[in-house]
Amino acid sequence: MVSLQTDAALTEYNQGAQAIVILGGGVYSHAAEYGGLSTLSGSPMERVKYGAYLFDKTGLPILVSGGDPLNTGVREGDVMKSVMEEALMTPVTWVENRSRDTYENAAFSYDILAKEGKTKIYLVTHGWHMPRAKDIFERFGFKVIPAPTIIYQNAGFTFYNILPQSGGLELSSLALREWIGRLWYTLL
């Protein structure tokens, strides 16, 4: 998988890219500390920050993608647009706010962007989610340039690696979820 680690890599892989697609991953609905306004949870906040960085480097238009899978009354795409434009000062051209999962992110994003003739995209999501997301977006007809954020890198073995850690359970859970998701999508 290609990852955009440097500005040189960004320039090299920018040839022909037409848009940046940023996937959601959770909303903090009706946040009391924000006067009841909704904001992004940690994962999509990391994604929109990286999407804003890519916009600064490329100037490509942005599509944010995320619906309301938990029926909270808050559409993630709308919150992503608000955070990007108000907090990150980055314009969002398109909002896909109907999807409930990665499959629908791809389907509904394709509906929007194909009408505009934009099918070669930077796809922004977390490194652990990228293989599944890339596969499904390509299945819908996108030419995907992976633009993962929060890439876990192996720093080598130390004694500390064998000690139980709270983050290890979270990473194991994410890995299991991604493998089940990939298996599910192969059956579709």
Is residue 32 included in any domain, yes or no? Answer: yes
Q: Model confidence over 133-142: pLDDT tens digits? A: 999 999 999 9
Q: Is the pLDDT of residue 169 over 50?
A: no
Output the six-digit token pair for 17: 């890219």
Is residue 46 included in any domain, yes or no? Answer: yes
Is residue 175 included in any domain, yes or no? Answer: no
Is residue 2 included in any domain, yes or no? Answer: no
Q: Dihedral of CA 38/181/20/104: which sign?
A: negative
Q: Is the pLDDT of residue 161 over 70?
A: no
Is residue 165 included in any domain, yes or no? Answer: no
Q: Is the pLDDT of residue 29 over 60?
A: yes
- What distance lies between CA 135 and its chain's CA centroid? 14
Which band of pLDDT confidence, cut at 50, 70 and 90, is reported for residue 4? low
Global confidence as pTM: 0.79
How many domains, in total, are found in the chain?
1
What percent of the chain is predicted at pLDDT more than 70?
Answer: 73
Is residue 187 included in any domain, yes or no? Answer: no
As a whole number, mean pLDDT of residues 93-106 equals: 96
As a whole number, mean pLDDT of residues 141-148 equals: 96
What percent of the chain is predicted at pLDDT more than 90?
Answer: 56
Cβ atoms within 10 Å of 106's Cβ, excluding its own: 28
Is residue 181 included in any domain, yes or no? Answer: no
> The CATH number of the domain where 133 resides is what?
3.40.50.620
Structural domain harbouring 55: 7-156
Cβ atoms within 10 Å of 16's Cβ, excluding its own: 8
Specify the 3-state DSSP secondary structure of 23. strand
- What distance lies between CA 94 and its chain's CA centroid? 15
Is residue 144 included in any domain, yes or no? Answer: yes
**59-76 in b/e burial notation, b at 16+ Cβ within 10 A?**
ebbbbbbbbbeeeeebbb
Q: Is the pLDDT of residue 1 over 50?
A: no
Q: What is d(CA 145, CA 142) in angstroms, rounded to the nearest whole number?
A: 9
